[in-house]
């Protein structure tokens, strides 16, 4: 089996399946197709499959033309028909791994994908889980399902975990040139899945077990969550001290070694950083261990929308206004700059908190013209963004900048020229010429300690 599969991978006659065609699965499917494999993309969403079959793309980083080219060449087949997985020699799983309402792992998507694959599995298949998950998932949830189907892992089927590192919107690092970590259940599992990924990914990094590979991904995302939590706390510290947090971070970042720059903001978003560390925290709770760094970072990061809303409230108060009844323009809904992904965006919390205090909230985001308040419910209200016009800016009692979209996408000079009050949580107005608006930063810029006048700093630089 192993030899046969390696041969099929080498001569590209292997059919590769990708289960889940979202932010992770679709770019991966395109890489396999571009490497010369025939790819069967299986997704339960009729809408997604319909789009892809027509040669269109629903993922910003994958151009429609790339999908159309592969569909036309017959190298990419999108389907909702589970039975087509039986044609596959290798299957990568990239389905969602969200949290439940109680912030425990919701494994429903992984389990249903694993059950579908187990129903279609046959000897001579490699199965690789890509969804971010807690250590032990591959061995504890996938392996027993394959064995119940009568297949021996390492002999009949080859099982591995390989975390995806896709960074939506990143133009430098994408699926092909980002090194890929991989851990297999047996040595043969590593050999086969490594050969498969090396056919389309520049660098594959094998580790000794699926658990190590699962933990690598959680380390990467916990590292970010903890460091962002730390600079968010620094922003609150600077606010009390009356020191500009951005100045402190930029100056610290001039240290050429031993410092890595992270920036504060209104909270964290996306499908990874706010969620993934909780997979590890949950797993460790089952082993009677409390993950203190994860818990603290989560507490600080999830408190940032409150901190921002409190700033808005105080700033309006200075203008003798209440949040209640004020019109507030939220600038940016996406969870990070220049992308249309708004999953877990802190903007939702900021809006909810402002509306909870009686504000009338409108939003503008050039990447998100509209969104559903609850993306999981088709009945929930759809909100539409407003255009960023002089009238909208003048009509707002406050503008709250939540996402740091590039100045090519948002005219920040227009914002500071026309708005009365701007609460800038991302420091994007730093490069504008200050004019009409009073701009409030995430941390106070004028406070207890006297700052040297600007001309003295310029002098010091020479
Ligand atoms: N988005 C990212 O930036 C990113 C980065 C690294 C890792 N990840 C991880 O990758 C995994 C996938 O994330 P994503 O962002 O691509 O999700 P996504 O929501 O964009 O796409 C998932 C797709 O899976 C489909 N699906 C759900 N259940 C299915 C099933 N049983 N069978 C077939 N298809 C099914 C959905 O219809 C959807 O199209 C998650 O575990 C996530 O944590 C995501």
Answer whether 20 contacts ligand 1 (Cβ < 6 A).
Answer: yes
Q: Which residues have a Cβ under 8 Å from the Cβ of 200 and sit 6 or more positions away? A: 31, 32, 34, 35, 37, 176
Q: Of ligand 1's atoms, which has the minimum distance to the CA of residue 113? A: 31
Distance 239 CA to ligand 1 centre (A): 38
pLDDT at 270: 87
- Cα(403) to centroid of ligand 1, in Å? 23
Q: 294: closest CA among 226, 346, 238, 199?
A: 226
Which of 49, 58, 85, 94 maximizes ligand 1 atoms within 8 Å of its Cβ, making it the mutation to test the pocket?
Answer: 94
| CA 14–ligand 1 middle distance (angstroms) | 23
Report the relative pairing of strands 421-424 and 438-441 from DSSP bridges: parallel
Q: Per-residue pLDDT for 391 more than 60?
A: yes
Cβ 48 under 6 angstroms from ligand 1: yes
Three-point CA angle 219, 223, 229, nearest 5°:
145
Q: Output the CA torsion 313→314→315→316 (10° steps).
A: 50
The finding on whether 52 has its CB within 6 A of some atom of ligand 1 is: no
The CB-side HSE value for 414 (13 A sphere, CA atoms) comes to 14
Catalytically active residues are 272
Encoding tokens for residue 323? 């949040």
Dig out the tokens for 160 from the structure.
């591995």
Residue owning the nearest CA to atom 10 of ligand 1: 131
pLDDT at 376: 62
What residues are paired with 15 via a beta bridge?
A: 38
Which residue's structure tokens are 């050969």? 195
> Whose CA is closest to 78, among 28, 11, 23, 18?
18
pLDDT at residue 387 in the model: 96
Q: What are the C-alpha distances in Å from 284 to residues 161, 182, 271, 287?
A: 20, 22, 21, 5
Helix, strand, coil percentages for the chain (3-state, nearest 5): 40, 15, 45
pLDDT band at residue 174, thresholds of 50, 70 and 90?
A: confident
- Say if ligand 1 is within 6 A of residue 80 CB: no
* Residue 97 beta carbon below 6 angstroms from any ligand 1 atom: yes
User: Among the atoms of ligand 1, which is closest to the Cα of residue 42?
Assistant: 33
Task: Sort 406 into a burial class: Cβ within 10 Å, 0-12 / 13-18 / 19+.
Answer: exposed
- Distance CA(445)–CA(244), nearest Å, equals 5
Any idea what the Cα angle at residue 405 is, between residues 300 and 368, rounded to 5°?
95
Tens-place pLDDT, residues 78-87: 999 999 999 9
Helix (H, G, I), strand (E, B) or coil at 228: helix
C-alpha separations of 285 from 276, 278, 279 in Å: 15, 10, 10
**pLDDT above 90 for 452:** no
The finding on whether 277 has its CB within 6 A of some atom of ligand 1 is: no
Is residue 433's pLDDT more than 80?
yes
382-384 and 370-372: which strand pairing? antiparallel
Q: Could you give the count of Cα atoms lying within 13 Å of 33 in the half-sphere of its Cβ?
A: 24
pLDDT of residue 448: 52
β-pairing, 157-161 vs 180-184, is antiparallel
268 pLDDT more than 90: yes
Ligand 1 centroid to Cα of residue 94, in Å, is 5
Sign, Cα dihedral of 57, 62, 68, 71: negative
Inform me whether the pLDDT recorded for 215 exceeds 50.
yes
Percent of the chain with pLDDT over 90: 84
Q: 462: pLDDT confidence band, cut at 50, 70 and 90? A: very low
Is 180 a residue whose pLDDT tops 70? yes
Instruction: Report whether 127 contacts 42 (CB < 8 A).
Output: no
What is the C-alpha to C-alpha distance for residues 225 and 269, in angstroms, rounded to an integer? 10
Inter-residue contact 402 to 350 (CB < 8 Å): yes
pLDDT of residue 434: 77
Residue 248: how many other CB atoms lie within 10 Å: 17
Residue 447 has a pLDDT of 55
Percentage of the residues of the chain whose pLDDT score is greater than 70 = 95
Q: Which residue has the tokens 């510290």?
A: 237
| Residue 228 clears pLDDT 80, i.e. is over it | yes
Average pLDDT, the chain: 93
Report the predicted TM-score, pTM, of the whole model to 2 decimal places.
0.90
Minimal-distance CA residue to ligand 1 atom 31: 113
The per-type count for the chain, helices as H runs and strands as E runs, is: 16, 15
Provide CB contacts within 8 A for 190, sequence distance 6+.
Answer: 160, 182, 183, 184, 206
Helix boundaries (H) for 18-121: 25-34, 46-53, 64-72, 108-120
**339 Cβ contact list (under 8 Å, min separation 6):** 60, 168, 169, 367
Q: Is 24 in the pocket of ligand 1 (CB under 6 A)?
A: yes
pLDDT band at 436; cut points 50, 70, 90:
confident
**DSSP code of 25?**
H
The C-alpha atoms of residue 409 and residue 337 are separated, in whole angstroms, by 10
pLDDT above 60 for 459: no
In the reported structure, the alpha carbon of residue 337 is separated from the centroid of ligand 1 by a whole-number distance in angstroms of 21
> Would you say residue 461 has pLDDT above 50?
no
pLDDT band at 168 (very low <50, low <70, confident <90, very high): confident
247: exposed, middle or buried (C-beta count within 10 Å: 0-12, 13-18, 19+)? middle
Decide: 23 in ligand 1 pocket, CB within 6 A: yes
């Amino acid at each position: 089996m192993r030899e046969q599969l390696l041969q099929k991978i080498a001569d590209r006659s292997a059919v590769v399946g990708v289960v889940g065609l979202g932010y992770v699965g679709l770019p991966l499917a395109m890489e396999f197709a571009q490497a010369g494999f025939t790819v069967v993309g299986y997704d339960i969403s009729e809408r997604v499959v319909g789009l892809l079959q027509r040669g269109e793309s629903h993922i910003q980083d994958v151009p429609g033309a790339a999908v159309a080219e592969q569909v036309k060449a017959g190298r990419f087949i999108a389907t909702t028909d589970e039975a087509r997985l039986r044609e596959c020699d290798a299957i990568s799983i990239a389905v969602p791994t969200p949290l439940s309402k109680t912030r425990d792992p919701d494994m429903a998507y992984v389990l249903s994908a694993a059950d579908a694959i187990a129903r279609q599995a046959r000897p001579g298949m490699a199965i690789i889980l890509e969804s971010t998950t807690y250590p032990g998932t591959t061995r504890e949830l996938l392996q027993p399902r394959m064995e119940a189907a009568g297949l021996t892992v390492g002999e009949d089927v080859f099982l591995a975990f390989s975390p995806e590192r896709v960074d939506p919107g990143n133009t430098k690092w994408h699926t092909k040139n980002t090194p890929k970590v991989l851990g297999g259940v047996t040595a043969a599992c590593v050999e086969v899945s490594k050969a498969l990924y090396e056919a389309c990914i520049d660098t594959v990094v094998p580790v000794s077990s699926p658990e190590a590979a699962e933990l690598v991904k959680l380390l990467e995302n916990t590292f970010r969550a903890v460091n962002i939590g730390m600079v968010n706390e620094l922003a609150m510290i600077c606010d009390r001290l009356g020191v500009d947090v951005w100045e402190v971070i930029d100056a610290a970042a001039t240290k050429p070694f031993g410092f890595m720059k992270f920036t504060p903001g209104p909270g964290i978003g996306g499908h990874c950083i706010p969620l993934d560390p909780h997979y590890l925290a949950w797993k460790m709770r089952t082993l009677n261990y409390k993950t203190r760094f994860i818990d603290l970072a989560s507490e600080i990061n999830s408190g940032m929308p409150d901190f921002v809303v409190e700033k808005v409230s105080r700033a309006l108060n200075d203008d003798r206004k209440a949040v209640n009844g004020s019109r507030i323009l939220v600038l940016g809904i996406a969870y990070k700059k220049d992308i249309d992904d708004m999953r877990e965006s802190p903007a939702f919390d900021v809006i909810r908190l402002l509306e909870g205090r009686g504000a009338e909230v409108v939003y503008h985001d050039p990447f998100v013209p509209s969104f559903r308040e609850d993306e999981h419910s088709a009945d929930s209200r759809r909100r539409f963004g407003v255009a960023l016009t002089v009238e909208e800016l003048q009509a707002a009692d406050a503008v709250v900048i939540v996402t740091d979209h590039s100045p090519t996408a948002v005219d920040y000079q227009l914002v500071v020229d026309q708005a009365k009050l701007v609460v800038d949580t991302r420091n994007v107005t730093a490069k504008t010429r200050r004019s009409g608006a009073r701009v409030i930063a995430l941390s106070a810029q004028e406070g207890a300690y006297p700052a040297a006048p600007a001309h003295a700093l310029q002098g010091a630089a020479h």
